[in-house]
């Protein structure tokens, strides 16, 4: 079994773990350091995924368990510890015709827009 395929067993993952997996990285390689210490290339690679996942979680398009922390402006979501339900995650890319090969497998049905 491929190292990344092992992540299919998770019921919930953080937005960072999901973004890393979408970009083809194994999250284990990044667990010791915070995202601000990751190589710039990694942050550039995951940025579109990370923003899309966070926005989908905020707008309740994904089943999401937020962990909050207080700051000077009130409370905010701690994205390092908040988690996304993987079953809801599997439907979300499928609705966008996005096949990542991990959560939406290569053989899963994805509606393609056909050019008549």
Phi, psi of 14 (to 5 degrees): -80, 165
pTM for the predicted model, two decimal places = 0.83
In this prediction, residue 35 carries a pLDDT of: 87
pLDDT tens by residue, the chain, 116 residues: 578 888 988 999 999 999 999 999 999 999 988 888 999 999 999 999 999 999 999 999 999 999 998 777 766 999 999 999 999 998 888 888 888 778 776 554 445 554 44
Query: CA–CA distance from 92 to each of 51, 57, 105 (Å)?
Result: 14, 10, 13
Question: How much is the pLDDT for 116?
Answer: 42
CB atoms within 10 A of CB 96: 13
**Concatenated DSSP letters of 1-67:** --TTGGGGG-SEEEHHHHHHHHTT--GGGGSSS-GGGS-HHHHHHHHHHHHHHHHHHHTTSS-EE--
At residue 46, the pLDDT reads: 96
């Amino acid at each position: 079994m491929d190292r990344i395929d092992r992540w299919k067993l998770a019921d919930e993952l953080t937005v960072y773990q999901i973004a890393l997996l979408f970009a083809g990285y194994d999250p284990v390689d990044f667990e010791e350091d915070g995202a601000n210490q990751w190589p710039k290339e990694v942050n550039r690679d995951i940025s579109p995924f990370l923003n899309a996942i966070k926005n989908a979680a905020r707008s309740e398009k994904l089943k999401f368990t937020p962990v909050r922390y207080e700051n000077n402006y009130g409370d905010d979501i701690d994205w390092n510890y908040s988690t996304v339900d993987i079953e809801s995650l599997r439907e979300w890319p499928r609705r966008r015709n996005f096949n990542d090969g991990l959560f939406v497998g290569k053989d899963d049905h994805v509606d393609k827009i056909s050019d008549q």
